[in-house]
Structure 1
Amino acid sequence: MQAGKSPGPTVRQTLRRYRKRVSESKPAVLSLSAADLEAWLIANGAPTYRRRQLSGWIARGAASFEEMHDIPKPLRTALDRQFRLTSLRTVATTQADRGLTSKTLYELDGGHSVEAVVMRYADRSTLCISSQAGCPIGCPFCATGKFPFGRNLKAHEIVEQAMDAVRLLAGESRRLTHVVFMGMGEPMANYQAVVESVRHLAGTDLLGISPRRIVVSTSGLIPRIEQLGGEQLPVTLAISLHAARDELRDVLVPINRKYPLEKLITASQGYAEKTGRRVSYEWVLLAGVNDTERDAKELGRLLRRKLAHVNLIPFNPVEDTPYRAPDRAAIRHFKELVESQGLNVTVRDTRGRDADAACGQLHERVMRERTVAQAARVQGA
């Protein structure tokens, strides 16, 4: 090989890329609207009620069209020839908490990747779902923001994360009961796809999850908060607050410079009044940064007599950031300080510390390993 030139792709790599291009040329079946899928069925000589059968199988966690035994074999073959059951490709998985938490990294069409986390509890199973590949907000304590922003997910790519969780949980005799849009990305920056995916998740054709069991988080995009209040979707709104004074929040949540706290709280409470739903205010606890008595008093002044709940989240350490998690005693003390301000407070059950389960961490690890492996191949060529 000539000096200065990187090695070309191997035969195996070339074949893999070819198969990937062929696969991506087939649309995912969930990318079709109900009307479009019914039109395809009619064109293929099938009655439109087959769409409901197909949706039922997907909702029950079918892993292939071939499993759908009450759909005629020729139609199953045609579906498999024309469509993919999902556009997501699993890249890596991790487990933690004695199998109660599992995280999956998916590759999207085009090469970007996103994460989803399934958390199992005694009374429910919750999916933490991604809405963007990367995040444009750039919060300095978040692993997702360390990488360049990729793209918005399409509605079907968001729903497909839930369908994969359904398949996983079905094998454990569990069902998906709750969805939180707290994975990679800023949901309100991908507004239309997020709202469309919520309607699909809540629709009786698929999962029928009550919107009241779906949480949509935002760092504070006020116009979209106001728009969501008019959608007649009573989801829980979660505000990624993290600070109760603009000076600090400008640093921790940079979009605060555009949408400062006073306007954000006004918009959030407007949502609460329209929907009757209490707003959840998320507060990642950073030792020595936002866990002081001053922070608790400022939070009390900001939210007192509001339809609000404060959710304290112990920081999941992220490499190459200056932040660290407070110890248990400090967390307990801060909770008591906030409660003394007359606010409702809980401390989130932190899951998956040993499974790269903080937002963006599995993606970060896999991308770092790929970079190291690629550099080693180039050096050894």
Structure 2
Amino acid sequence: MGVTLDLSRAGAVTPVRPNLSGLTRPALAAALVDAGVASPEKARMRAVQAWRWIHHYGVTDFGRMTDIAKETRAALAEHFRLDRPEVVERQVSRDGTRKWLIRMAPGVEVETVYIPDVGRAGALCISSQVGCTLNCTFCHTGTQALVRNLTAAEIVAQVQVARDDLEEWPSPKEDRRLSNIVFMGMGEPLYNLDAVADAIDIIADNEGIAISRRRITVSTSGVIPEFQALGQRTQAMLAISLHATNDALRDVLVPLNRKYPIAELMAAVRAFPGLSNARRATFEYVMLKGVNDSPAEARALVQLLKAIPAKINLIPFNPWPGTDYQCSDWGTIEAFAAILNRAGFASPIRTPRGRDILAACGQLKSESEKLRASARRSTALPPDA
């Protein structure tokens, strides 16, 4: 006599309700139809209503959408969610910089930083991946292994968390404290372009968060095959994590250079959609003592960027535990900047911000990730160690 086991319920997984915060306008309308919340004829109207509540007013409760019928609100709550991810830790620097450790899911955490007095009012440095694969040798974030890409909802959630904390709902048109977005946090944005592009569409929408595309900057280490798509799909501003003027040095500092060397990178920048004197590319150049900070390097940088509409951000290196690099002396940085200025390039020296909370450029690395790594090392030791 055979025995048949009923496995129909084994390993059953409860479907996760999608977060409407990560859907573009067309995707939001389509989701309402697919869930039976709205008919095709009314989907656009319902999407407009929901969009404004989510992205203009910042609500996290469908019950607050008072211009939507009660029955429809109940259906929205049944099929979708609007909750924010968990803020595990919030730190405020002496200089006003704020850093949040945000848990998107168990073991999936990112750091997001708000920097006041950057751009028109203040900039939010957001992450596109959990961890990073690029292993840039001067970057603390690069020492954390890649866990996964973030979804569009998780990217947008970083903006929502910041605006919750800054008390900027509903979306202000004037006197906002958060005026600029920079994809310069954890990860390489062009390795997650679909989610980044959708998030930019959401963030830039005039009836929602309403941050202009010209105030959104995407920083890349040079994933050249995605440059055209980035420009065409997002119309965001381009920033290049450069840090060296020759392949031998950049191969060490930015290992991706071995795949996409400097000559190819410069050609791709020149061909970037919309590049002009009004929409210049930004080149980021971290100042490393005795490595890339000589007058000869400054002159080489001038030649490298000749005829490219560009500005150059000089970034004093932010030391982190375990690094062998040192920050260039201030006089050396000023002399470097003077050479660039005389050649006609705007070359501001970025003021280090948030150093006391490890929120400065290149320092983002989840503290809980470090604690988990420490725990793994402890459990790996034999009992009598």
Partner of 2:33: 39
Indicate conservation of the 8 Å contact 1:229/1:274, yes or no: no
Deviation per CA, 1:122-171: give whole Å up to 9, x if none. 84232111111111111011112112111111122111211222222235
DSSP-derived class of the 1:167 partner = helix
Counterpart amino acid of residue 38 in structure 1: L
Unaligned runs of 5+ in 2: 1-12
Partner of 1:261: 262
Deviation at 1:283, TM superposition (A): 0.5
Within 5 Å, give how 1:14-33 maps onto structure 2: 25-32=16-23, 33=27
Deviation at 1:375, TM superposition (A): 7.4
DSSP-derived class of the 1:199 partner = helix
Deviation per CA, 1:159-205: give whole Å up to 9, x if none. 12112222222359845321111110001111121112112212234
Figure out how many residues of one structure are paired with residues of the other and give that number. 357
Work out the CA distance in 1 between the residues paired with 2:189 and 2:380: 38
Work out the CA distance in 1 between the residues paired with 2:22 and 2:344: 47
User: TM-score under structure 2 normalisation?
Assistant: 0.83
Partner of 1:8: none
Within 5 Å, give how 1:121-270 maps onto structure 2: 121=117, 123-170=120-167, 174=176, 176-231=178-233, 233-270=234-271
Deviation at 1:315, TM superposition (A): 1.4
1:350 aligned to 326, 340, 352, which one?
352
Work out the CA distance in 2 between the residues paired with 1:163 and 1:184: 17
Pick closer, same or farther for the CA change 1:111–1:367 going to 2, 3 Å: closer
**Worse overlay, 316-325 or 359-368:** 359-368
Work out the CA distance in 1 between the residues paired with 2:376 and 2:63: 38
Indicate conservation of the 8 Å contact 1:286/1:325, yes or no: yes
1:55 aligns with 2:62: no
Partner of 1:14: none
Partner of 1:313: 315
Deviation at 1:214, TM superposition (A): 0.7
**Worse overlay, 222-231 or 279-288:** 222-231
Work out the CA distance in 1 between the residues paired with 2:253 and 2:16: 41
Identity among equivalent positions (%) equals 39
Counterpart amino acid of residue 21 in structure 2: L
RMSD over equivalenced CA pairs, Å: 2.9
Work out the CA distance in 2 between the residues paired with 1:236 and 1:105: 26
Pick closer, same or farther for the CA change 1:362–1:91 going to 2, 3 Å: farther
**Worse overlay, 182-191 or 346-355:** 346-355
Partner of 1:328: 330
Indicate conservation of the 8 Å contact 1:250/1:256, yes or no: yes
**Worse overlay, 201-210 or 361-370:** 361-370
Partner of 1:7: none
Partner of 1:17: none
Counterpart amino acid of residue 135 in structure 1: C
Partner of 1:109: 105
Pick closer, same or farther for the CA change 1:93–1:360 going to 2, 3 Å: farther
DSSP-derived class of the 1:190 partner = helix
Work out the CA distance in 1 between the residues paired with 2:291 and 2:248: 12
Pick closer, same or farther for the CA change 1:248–1:125 going to 2, 3 Å: same
Work out the CA distance in 1 between the residues paired with 2:48 and 2:151: 22
Work out the CA distance in 2 between the residues paired with 1:291 and 1:37: 53
Partner of 1:92: 89
Indicate conservation of the 8 Å contact 1:94/1:103, yes or no: yes
Work out the CA distance in 2 between the residues paired with 1:102 and 1:125: 11
Indicate conservation of the 8 Å contact 1:219/1:241, yes or no: yes
Counterpart amino acid of residue 48 in structure 2: R
Deviation at 1:72, TM superposition (A): 4.4
Pick closer, same or farther for the CA change 1:284–1:339 going to 2, 3 Å: same
2:368 aligned to 355, 359, 366, which one?
366
Pick closer, same or farther for the CA change 1:36–1:89 going to 2, 3 Å: farther
Work out the CA distance in 2 between the residues paired with 1:53 and 1:43: 13
DSSP-derived class of the 2:272 partner = helix
Counterpart amino acid of residue 153 in structure 1: L
Work out the CA distance in 1 between the residues paired with 2:128 and 2:317: 21
Larger relative helix fraction: 1
